[in-house]
Amino acid sequence: MKRILPLLSIFFFNVFFIGCGDGTPVIESIDGTKITVGSFESAYETAIDTLSRTQNIEKKNIIDFITKDAAEVPEQMRPLRDEFQKKTFFDRYRQMMMIKLVADKSGFTKRADIKEILKFQEMQLISNLYIAEQVESKIKISEEEAQTECGELRKRNAEVNTLPIDRCLLLARAQIKSRRSMEVYPKVLERVKEGVTIKHNEKFDLENYLSKNIVFPEAAKTEKKESSEAK
């Protein structure tokens, strides 16, 4: 579950100010920026949707996990449940809003290096969301398939055998989806490649370029300094 937290951090930075002045009660105002019931609940729902799309977890499964008591949730999913408890989520949302406001005021978010990082993160997130949606659209799981998988899981795992049928079917669908995603992904990626036109620069030796390490400015300065000192 460690991968989830950075993902949510990126998400928070992109949706903070959506929904201000939406007509719902104001929870509080931070430096003039209002957190409303509407904006908070919208952020909460969007975070769940983002997690579902990028982590290949069905949205209804996430909702099921976060609304159950901790004792009813599989151990590996408890960090997710804890992260999405209403108070925990609000405290983190509020804290990150304060940090972003201070970062904005200090000029941090206007720096060229930070803009480049955000641009890269945006490209990465869009890529993940798009591919996940394309893979999702190619996977259909029938009730019969889910029941068969549930039966197999019950045979192999005593813990699953104690689960009620609805939870077993959710787990079965997740297992089938995970397997099929691995099969569908290469086909989806190939289809994406077919949707663009690539024109190679015949005068550029790509193989030669890729065979050499990138020289970073910091390393170049250090090397130049050491060379001067040696003389």
pLDDT tier at 6 (50, 70, 90 boundaries)?
A: very low
Tell me the per-residue pLDDT of 150-167, one tens digit each, with 9 for 90 and over.
Answer: 999 999 988 888 888 988
Count of domains forming the chain: 2
β-bridge partners, 8: none
The answer to whether position 207 is within a domain reads no
pLDDT tier at 1 (50, 70, 90 boundaries)?
A: very low
Q: Is residue 130 domain-shared with residue 81, that is, in the same domain? A: no
The answer to whether position 6 is within a domain reads no
Q: Is residue 193 domain-shared with residue 122, that is, in the same domain? A: yes
pLDDT tier at 171 (50, 70, 90 boundaries)?
A: confident
SS3 33: strand
What pLDDT sits at residue 55?
A: 81
Q: Is residue 98 domain-shared with residue 162, that is, in the same domain? A: no
Q: Is residue 160 domain-shared with residue 95, that is, in the same domain? A: no
Q: Are 150 and 171 in contact (CB under 8 A)?
A: yes
pLDDT at residue 8 tops 60: no
Tell me the per-residue pLDDT of 93-102, one tens digit each, with 9 for 90 and over.
Answer: 999 999 999 9
Share of the chain above pLDDT 70, in %: 85
Q: Which domain holds residue 117?
A: 111-198
pLDDT tier at 193 (50, 70, 90 boundaries)?
A: very high
Provide the whole-model pTM: 0.75
What pLDDT sits at residue 3?
A: 46
As a whole number, the mean pLDDT across the chain is: 86
The answer to whether position 222 is within a domain reads no
The answer to whether position 14 is within a domain reads no
Q: What value does the mean pLDDT take over residues 110-135?
A: 94
Tell me the per-residue pLDDT of 211-224, one tens digit each, with 9 for 90 and over.
Answer: 999 888 776 666 66
